[in-house]
Structure 1
Amino acid sequence: MNFSDAFSPSNLKFLAEGFLVTLEVAFIAIILSFIVGCVVGTLRYTKLKVVSPILGVCVQIIRNLPLLLVLFFTFFALPEIGIKMGVFTSAVVALTIFEGAMIAEIVRSGLNSIPKGQIEAGRASGLSYTQTLWHIVLPQALRRMVPPLVSQFISLLKDTSLAVIISLPELMHNVQIVSAQHPNIVFPILILAAVAYFTVNYILSIISKRFESKFV
């Protein structure tokens, strides 16, 4: 175990490149999954006759599948029906689908936590159902959603490591390569990867606590 060899400039540069890919995938997937989750969660909350039950089934199916299976599906199965994507895009799509289903439940639960009297008051004041939802219910619900949403985003960042299975050149992929080339520095390399993940996730958890204390 040699820390000086593990933390050589070339190794640090290679691992930093991998971590940058991890952050890029996580950032894009967080934005897309949040949009998908908000739309799906809101549509489920509205209980539309046809749309809501179908979305409910889709969400329950995805939530009960392992993310690894979703990754395999987007990278290996979709090309068989003519939908071909690169490794980076496949990872983003898989994470967006999987995490979007999780966030949809958070959004639906957050909306359900708002008393129905709020909607009745909004309608009584002359607002339409959509206006009431947008101006009264959703702002209150979002404040309650902050802690679970940030927790889900932290999980998403950690879940990017599963994309190593489809050879996405993210942090853990590059950790594997360095470890295979230099078996004597596996321990310090893994410690370095752990510190990288911990730092970003700890920052997100601090942000979550500040939002929680401010808005909830």
Structure 2
Amino acid sequence: MGILFEDGNFSLFYHGFLQTIELSAISALFALLLGGVLAAFRVSPVPVLRAFGTGWVMVFRNTPLTLLFFGVVFALPRLDVHLSSFTFAVMALSAYTGAFVCEVLRSGINTVPLGQAEAARSLGMGFGQTLGTIVLPQAARSVLPPMSSIFIALPRNSAVAGAFNVPELFSTQKAFDEKGYPIFVTFFWIALAYLLVSFTVSAVFRVLEKQLAVAR
């Protein structure tokens, strides 16, 4: 059980852990931004934007994440798009997670009474202003629990990146296997690290829920 403290293993494991945190955090930020834009498209009065948002969600929610990684990592270079493996991983995770964020936000938007949007329009506020200042702040409170599930799953989904030359947490098991360590012990430490990340994200969302509940 003490493999982390032998032959510099801790440094290898720590680097993989930090890479998973960095990959997950950056992907979460872009997924949140992308999901917000897509949710706005889904409820937009412009048919073209609604169709684009619906199409994005339909495609990316129903595409396996591994297949999406293959498309980004191998198809984009053929289109003369050459980026680092880490950047490709962020793109794949953000596009995939953003589709789920979009649907959660859209469900939250639908819980806001229609009369509030109509009242805002009667005051001369446009669609973007109504959505950003009236609807989304209220919707955000109702979507925190399902949103937490999405971002708790994101670090685990990032393990797919290890198969595409991104040295994240799960990929460290290959190095430990080559050193002859028991696979059970290796996966114990990896699982423990993922649990730590999941509990941390869950705790952050619980704090947000309490803060927003007080704000009501």
TM-score with structure 1 length normalisation? 0.92
- Counterpart amino acid of residue 20 in structure 1: L
Cα distance in 1 between the residues matched to 2:7 and 2:205: 34
Percent identity over paired residues: 33
Q: Post-superposition, which runs of at least 4 consecutive aligned residues in structure 1 deviate over 4 A?
A: none
Cα distance in 2 between the residues matched to 1:211 and 1:41: 21
- Counterpart amino acid of residue 49 in structure 1: P
Matches within 5 A, 1:56-71: 56-71=54-69
* Pairwise CA distance, 1:186: 2.2
- 2:4–2:13: 8 Å Cα contact kept in structure 1? no
Cα distance in 2 between the residues matched to 1:80 and 1:129: 39
- Counterpart amino acid of residue 117 in structure 1: G
Q: Provide the residue aligned with 1:20 in structure 2.
A: 18
1:108 to 78, 85, 106: 106
* Pairwise CA distance, 1:111: 0.9
Structure 2, unaligned stretches of length 5 or more? none
Q: Provide the residue aligned with 2:195 in structure 1.
A: 198
Matches within 5 A, 1:63-102: 63-102=61-100
Matches within 5 A, 1:145-160: 145-160=143-158
Greater RCO, 1 or 2 (C-alpha within 8 Å, sep 6+): 1
- 1:110–1:142: 8 Å Cα contact kept in structure 2? yes
- 1:75–1:85: 8 Å Cα contact kept in structure 2? no
TM-score with structure 2 length normalisation? 0.92
- Counterpart amino acid of residue 32 in structure 1: F
What is the aligned-residue RMSD (CA, Å)? Answer: 1.6
For 2:167, what is the secondary structure of its paired residue? coil
Structure 1, unaligned stretches of length 5 or more? none
Count of residue pairs the alignment pairs up: 213
Cα distance in 2 between the residues matched to 1:178 and 1:29: 27
Cα distance in 1 between the residues matched to 2:65 and 2:45: 27
Q: Provide the residue aligned with 1:29 in structure 2.
A: 27
For 1:208, what is the secondary structure of its paired residue? helix
- 1:45–1:112: 8 Å Cα contact kept in structure 2? no
- 1:6–1:188: 8 Å Cα contact kept in structure 2? no
CA offsets, 1:70-112, max 9 Å, x none? 1111111111111122211111110011111111111111111
- Counterpart amino acid of residue 211 in structure 1: L
Cα distance in 2 between the residues matched to 1:180 and 1:101: 37
